[in-house]
Amino acid sequence: MLSHLTSGSEVVLSVIAYSFCSGSLVLINKLILHYLPYPSLVIATQLLATIFIIYTLHCLQVVDIDPIRWKFVLPYLAYTVAFSVGVFCNMKSLSLSNVETVIVFRALAPLLVSVLDVAFLGREWPSPQSWGALALIGVGAYGYAATDQQFRTQGPSAYFWPTAYLFVISFEMAYGKKIVKDVDLKTRSGPVQYTNILGFLPMLLLAGIGGEFHLFHTQWIDVGIMMFRFPAIPLLVVGCIVGTGIGYSGWWCRSTISATSYTIIGVMNKCLTVLANCMIWDKHAVPAGIASLFLCLLGGALYRQAPMKEGVQQEKSSPQDEEQETTEQRMPLVK
C-alpha cells in the first residue's frame, strides 16, 4: 500500500505516524488510568486487542500476516523480555522517585544508543553537531527536572531503578533495530504480531507482581459493574485502537531510521507530552521548566543521523536504499 512512496516521504510519514500515535496513547492512557488504575492490566488489554484486530483484518483480507515460527519467536522473545523488564523498571522508578527523574534518565538513552549504533549496527560516530544536540537534550531534561523540588531532595537510592531503566531501554532500542534488519519477516504486521503475542503473558505477570488482580477484585466486590463508570470503556476502546496504531507505526518508523534517531524521537514525544500535560491539566510548570523542554526540542531539531560505515554502505543493493540513507542523514528529527 505504501510502495509508491519515495524513501524520503516514507521516513517523514513514519515519523509523523509514530509521533502522533505515541503522544496520543500517552494522553489516552493517562485518562484511562484515572478511571481504571491498573497499568499492567490496561497494557495487557491493549496487547490482546491488537492481536484480535490484526487477525480479524487478516480474515477480512485487509492485511497480510506472517506465520508463527520458532526461528522468529526467539529473537522477538528476547526483545519482549527487554520490553517487559523496561516496563517493570519504569514502574519501580515512578514508585520510588518521580516523573521528572524518569524523564532525565530517559533523555540520556540516545547517548548510550549512539554507542550501540556504532558497535553493533554499522553506523559511524555522530558528528560534533549531533553530539552537541544530544548534550542539549540531556541538559534540557535535567533543567526541567531541576525545577521540581522533589527531584532535588531525593537521595541516591532513588536513582537505582531509573539507572536500570536507562540501560534496559537503551538495549531495547538498539536490539529492536537489529531484529528489524536481521529477522526476515515479510509483512508489516509481523513485528506487531510477535511483540503483542509474546508480550501478553509478561504483562499479566507484572500485573500480578504489582497486586493489580487483588485491587481489581477488591474494587469489583465493593462497587461491581460501577467500577467501569463512563467514560472508562470508550477510552479503553480508543486506547486499544491507538495501541494497534503505535504497534504498526513504531516498527515502521524503526525500519526507516537509525536506533539513535528512533530513541531521540521517543524523547521528543515525551517532552511534547509533558508540555501538553501542562496545558491540559494545568500543572503550572515554572517558566524555567518550560524553557528546558524547548531546549530538548531544539536538540532534537539539530541532531543529524550518523551515516552507515563505508563497508556497510557497500552492501546496499539498490539506488533506492542509497536515497533513503541520504535522506535520513539530512533530515532533522523535529520540524
DSSP string, 240-255: HHHHHHHHHHHHHHHH
Return the pLDDT at 125. 87
- Please give the share of the chain, as a percent, with pLDDT higher than 90: 19
Return the pLDDT at 151. 63
CA angle 125-178-119, nearest 5°? 30
Higher pLDDT, 313 or 272: 272
* Half-sphere exposure (Cβ direction) of 295: Cα atoms closer than 13 Å: 20
Assign 290 to helix, strand or coil. helix
Alpha helices in the chain, H assignment, sequence order: 7-35, 39-59, 70-96, 99-120, 128-146, 149-153, 160-182, 189-209, 212-223, 232-256, 259-280, 287-302, 310-313, 319-330
Average pLDDT score over residue span 163-170: 89
Length of the chain: 335
Return the pLDDT at 281. 57
Return the pLDDT at 64. 92
Mean pLDDT of the chain: 80
Q: Which three cell numbers, joined as nine digits, stand for 54?
A: 490484526
**C-beta separation of 308 from 325 below 8 A:** yes
Distance CA 120, CA 112 (A): 12
- pTM of the shown model: 0.78
The strand pairing partners of 308, in sequence order, are 123
Is the pLDDT at 335 greater than 50? The verdict is: no
Q: Which band of pLDDT confidence, cut at 50, 70 and 90, is reported for residue 301?
A: confident
Q: Which three cell numbers, joined as nine digits, stand for 295?
A: 531546549
Lowest mean pLDDT among 6-15, 188-197, 271-280: 271-280
Q: Which band of pLDDT confidence, cut at 50, 70 and 90, is reported for residue 319?
A: very low
Q: Which three cell numbers, joined as nine digits, stand for 14?
A: 513514519
Q: Name residues whose C-beta falls within 8 Å of residue 92's C-beta, 6 or more positions apart in sequence.
A: 161, 164
Question: Which residue bears the cell 554507542?
Answer: 115
- The CA distances from residue 255 to 92, 281, 306, in Å, are 30, 35, 15
Distance CA 108, CA 89 (A): 16
pLDDT digits (tens, 9 = 90+) for 44-93: 999 999 999 999 999 999 999 999 888 899 999 999 989 888 888 877 77
pLDDT digits (tens, 9 = 90+) for 218-268: 888 887 787 788 888 999 999 999 999 999 998 988 888 888 888 888 888
pLDDT digits (tens, 9 = 90+) for 86-132: 888 877 776 666 666 677 788 888 888 888 888 888 888 888 888 89
**C-beta separation of 7 from 320 below 8 A:** yes
Return the pLDDT at 209. 87
- The CA distances from residue 33 to 39, 44, 208, 229, 231, in Å, are 7, 13, 17, 12, 11
* Half-sphere exposure (Cβ direction) of 287: Cα atoms closer than 13 Å: 0
pLDDT digits (tens, 9 = 90+) for 196-216: 999 999 989 988 988 889 998
Q: Which band of pLDDT confidence, cut at 50, 70 and 90, is reported for residue 193?
A: very high
Higher pLDDT, 306 or 284: 306
Q: Which band of pLDDT confidence, cut at 50, 70 and 90, is reported for residue 158?
A: low
Sign of CA dihedral 280, 283, 284, 288: negative
Neighbours of 133 (CB within 10 A): 22
Distance CA 292, CA 280 (A): 19
